[in-house]
Structure 1
Amino acid sequence: MNTTTTTDERAIAELQREHGPALFHFLLGLTFGDRQRAEDLVQETLVRAWQHPEAFEAPYDSMRPWLFTVGRRLAIDARRSRRARPVEVSDTVLESTPAAQDTADSAVRALDVREAVRTLSPEHRAVLVQIYFRGMSVGEAATALGIPAGTVKSRSHYALRTLSRTLPGYSPEGDRSLLPTRGARPRFNAA
């Protein structure tokens, strides 16, 4: 740009000193207290003044009405533009998003569980297969195995306790994520 069509830098600096604080407070209200957006709009308004030197030659006493009009129009345009775009994702949403599950880790755990289940007695293994791998209730497992429901409960308790000793980091009272939930399809073969 040549100097005849642009505004002198000193004139812009003076414009900001004289009208900048009032323009900022005006735009702060239009942006519902968003200081960053208000500051951006002040800067954009001053850029427009720099790009339009004819505004300095207008027949009014102060540039403030022209600045406020330009600032208000920029705020309206920015608001319309934001409403037309999809909502932006903030950092807090990204931080709370769970990390992708490592499939190799799951495969290793599945192999560990399969090997640990093989070490159980056939009676204990049969109970776990019925309850956890086939999704049966205690009563259904008792009927399928031909044993009392109390026996199913005690065998499952002792089987899980044995697994907790065999599998690192597994607690029968806490994390049962190594076994499928009742009713879910098994992720691996029990035997």
Structure 2
Amino acid sequence: MSQVEVQTHPIATRLTHWLMALSIVILIGSGWRIYNASPIFGFTFPEWATLGGDVEEALALHNDPGVASAIAWHFAAMWLLALSYLCFMLWNIFSGHFRRDFLPIGPASFWRDFTAAIRFRLDHRLGEYNVVQRVAYWGALGSIAMMLLSGIAIWKPVQTYPLETLFGGFQGARLVHFVFMTAITLFIVVHVALVILVPKTFVAMTLGKATAVHKGES
């Protein structure tokens, strides 16, 4: 028997989703350029993957490898992310979206879906979030919050001294910032892969509604 699956997203969810996506991409690209100027690990990111203009041109004109431009992009995207994230959270809390679609989460159901996922047997249906997806989304939302808080501690270490201390000092805040940036980057990779598997989720998040026919057992 065939079942019609429907996924809908109101304009508030779609708008804040895409604003967050845009701001995060800008933050990652500009953040990598900033990181390259003072790396905390023994590697740097390739120039083509960073945001801040041509390095050689910036060095010739301003004796700066594009860090000033990257910082300008970073701050603009930070405010956009903070505002869109706050609106996204408030809307989805008060609309009941989180309660309906991202809960409940239990150890047994997570393990069931996780083991199915690693065997590539997890069913992906339009309009439904399995427990692995729910955990991933909560993890992404938590990572954004930690990225913003650690970023504020890096930006204003004196004014936010208690927050900076909580992260273990300036270098600790940088490390936390890097870790959660990495978590967000990995989430994006997995998220895009799932969109490729279920492309109509992109349609729903862009146009507001998508339908699909699922052939169940008769």
The answer, yes or no, to whether TM exceeds 0.5 is no
Between Structure 1 and Structure 2, the one with more strand by share is 2
TM-score when scaled to structure 1?
0.25
Using the size of structure 2 for normalisation, the TM-score is 0.22
**Whose RCO is larger (CA < 8 A, sep 6+)?**
2
